[in-house]
Amino acid sequence: MVTYQGSLFDTGTGPGLGTLAEGLVREELGDGAWVEHRPGWVVDADSVVEHLLTEVPWRAERRKMYDRIVDVPRLVAFYGEGERLPHPFLDEVRSVLADRYGGEEGGPVRTAGLCLYRGGGDSVAWHGDTIGRGATHDTVVAIVSFGEPRRFLLRPCGPRGGGTARRYSLGRGDLIVMGGSCQRTWEHAVPKTRRSVGPRISVQFRQPGVR
Ligand SMILES: O=C(O)CCC(=O)C(=O)O
C-alpha cells in the first residue's frame, strides 16, 4: 500500500487554483518549442493525494524490452474525452487549462493520463509524447503534479541531446506545460532517485489523439 505524508505547511483549505499569470515563467526553447512553468499553481494540493491514491483504478503495465518482458516502473490510468475525472477538482483544472491553451494548434486539452510514482525506484525514461498527432504536429501537454516533488528533465532530441538537461522539481501543485514542437524536438524524463521519497502523482492533460 502506498501512503503519503503531506507537507506540514498544508493550509487544510481544500484544493484551489492560484492565478496562472502570477509566477508563470515561459521559456522559448528554439525550433518552435516552448515550456511554461508555474510552481505551486494548485493551493493545498496535498488534500487530494490520498483520494487519488485510493480512488484511481491504477494499472500496472508490462512492456517488451529487447527480448524480455519487464514491468513498467510506475502505475498508470487514463481518462478519455468526456470521461469524468477521479476527483471533481481535476475537472476544474482541465477546464481552466482547456480555456487557456485552447487556441493552440490541436485545440483544447481533453484527456488525462495519470502516473503514480510509488517511490524513488519508479521513473519514466527519456521520451516525447509522439504516439498519434504529436509525432507530426504541434501539441500542448500540461502536467499538474501532486505529492512528493520529483526531478523532471527536459533535453533536445538527437545529437544535441547529450548536453545539459533543463531540470525542474515537480510535485505539490506545480504546473509544467510543454508546447509547440516540444514533443518532437525535445524529450523528457523523470529519473529514479536513491533518496527515500513518498509517492508523486502526475496528471497529464493532452489534446485528443496524442499519447
Ligand atoms: O510524470 C511526469 O511528469 C511525466 C509523465 C510522462 O512523461 C508521460 O506520461 O509521458
> Is the C-beta atom of 129 inside 6 A of ligand 1?
yes
Q: Does residue 160 carry a pLDDT above 70?
A: no
Query: Per residue in 177-208, pLDDT tens?
Result: 999 999 999 999 999 999 999 999 999 999 99
Pick the atom of ligand 1 nearest to 74's CA. 1
Paired with 35 in beta bridges are: 27, 178
- Beta strands 150-156; 186-190: pairing state: antiparallel
Q: Does residue 162 carry a pLDDT above 90?
A: no
Banded model confidence at residue 64, pLDDT cuts 50, 70, 90: confident
> Is the C-beta atom of 202 inside 6 A of ligand 1?
yes
Taking the C-alpha atoms of residue 111 and residue 83, their distance in angstroms, rounded to an integer, is 8
Please give the single-letter amino acid code of residue 18: G
- 204, 205, 207, 211, best to mutate for ligand 1 pocket (most atoms within 8 Å of CB): 204
Contact indicator for 147, 49 with CB cutoff of 8 Å: yes
Least Cα distance to 202 among 107, 91, 104, 78 occurs for: 78
Nearest CA to ligand 1 atom 2: 202
Given the candidates 3.40.50.20, 2.40.40.20, 2.40.100.10, 2.60.120.590, the CATH classification of the domain at 25-206 is: 2.60.120.590
Contact indicator for 175, 82 with CB cutoff of 8 Å: no
Q: Does residue 133 carry a pLDDT above 90?
A: no
Pick the atom of ligand 1 nearest to 113's CA. 9
- Give the start-end residues of each E strand in 33-165: 33-38, 42-43, 59-65, 68-79, 111-117, 124-127, 141-147, 150-156
Residue 160's Cα: distance from chain center in Å?
24
**Residue 34: what are its φ and ψ, rounded to 5°?**
-145, 160
Q: What is the pLDDT of residue 184?
A: 95
> Is the C-beta atom of 147 inside 6 A of ligand 1?
no
- Give the domain ranges of the chain: 25-206
Q: What is the pLDDT of residue 9?
A: 67
Average pLDDT, stretch 99-124? 97
Q: In this structure, which long-range contacts are made by residues 158-162, counting pairs with CB atoms below 8 Å and at least 24 apart in sequence? A: 161/126, 161/187
Report how far apart, in Å, the C-alpha atoms of 130 and of each of 5, 183, 185 are: 35, 6, 10
Taking the C-alpha atoms of residue 118 and residue 58, their distance in angstroms, rounded to an integer, is 11
Strand ranges across the sheet with 166-170: 124-127, 186-190, 150-156, 166-170
Taking the C-alpha atoms of residue 53 and residue 191, their distance in angstroms, rounded to an integer, is 21
